[in-house]
Amino acid sequence: MTSLAATPLQSAPVAADNSARAAELSAANINPRTGLATDYLNHFNEAVMLLEMIPDIPECAEDFLGWQPLSYAEHFTASNFKARDLAIDAYNTADVRVRKEFDNITSAITAILTAVGAAMREATQDKTRARLAEQATGWVKPLVTQAGGIINGDGAADVDYIMAH
């Protein structure tokens, strides 16, 4: 009987801690279910925006070539995001499966953008750069959307969270 009575008392602080942590993450625009923040996608959206401009404004290719890949932690460290330390901590403590799926997609985005940048450096004609930009945009935008889905808990992470709670 004593052990049964002790169990609810022991779990109450954990539940309160989880609830407080979830509220803290939500207030910082970090998904409490996944531990990820959509702010990181701004890093890729900037590159996509520049790529989309290249066909109409060829000079934007130089701006795109200045884009540098950043890891999740590097992005937040360099950003003005007010809860950047919390974002990095939440990422580091996120469910390993969610983080792996997210990292796989963002690695693919980075690889595409890096390869397109290398190809653009070799290109000598604006129309070649414009074609590269159009192709890259078509590849990257769906991946950014998919990464956003992971951040927002769409899919397996959501089901796992619901089942665990």
Q: Could you tell me the two tokens for 89?
A: 């901590």
Per-residue model confidence (pLDDT) at position 11: 37
Q: In the chain, what is the greatest distance between 2 CA atoms, to the nearest angstrom? A: 80
Tell me if 50 sits within 8 A of 60, measured CB to CB: yes
**Looking at residue 108, what is its pLDDT?**
98
Q: Domain limits of the chain?
A: 2-164
List pLDDT tens digits, range 53-84. Answer: 999 999 999 999 999 999 999 999 999 999 99
**pTM confidence score:** 0.82
pLDDT at 156: 53
Alpha carbons 129 and 23: distance in angstroms, whole number: 46
pLDDT value for 17: 64
Question: How confident is the model at residue 19, as a pLDDT?
Answer: 86
Distances (CA, A) of 112 to 105, 131, 137: 11, 14, 10
Q: Which residues of the chain have pLDDT under 50?
A: 1-16, 157-158, 161-163, 165
- Provide the pLDDT for residue 164: 52
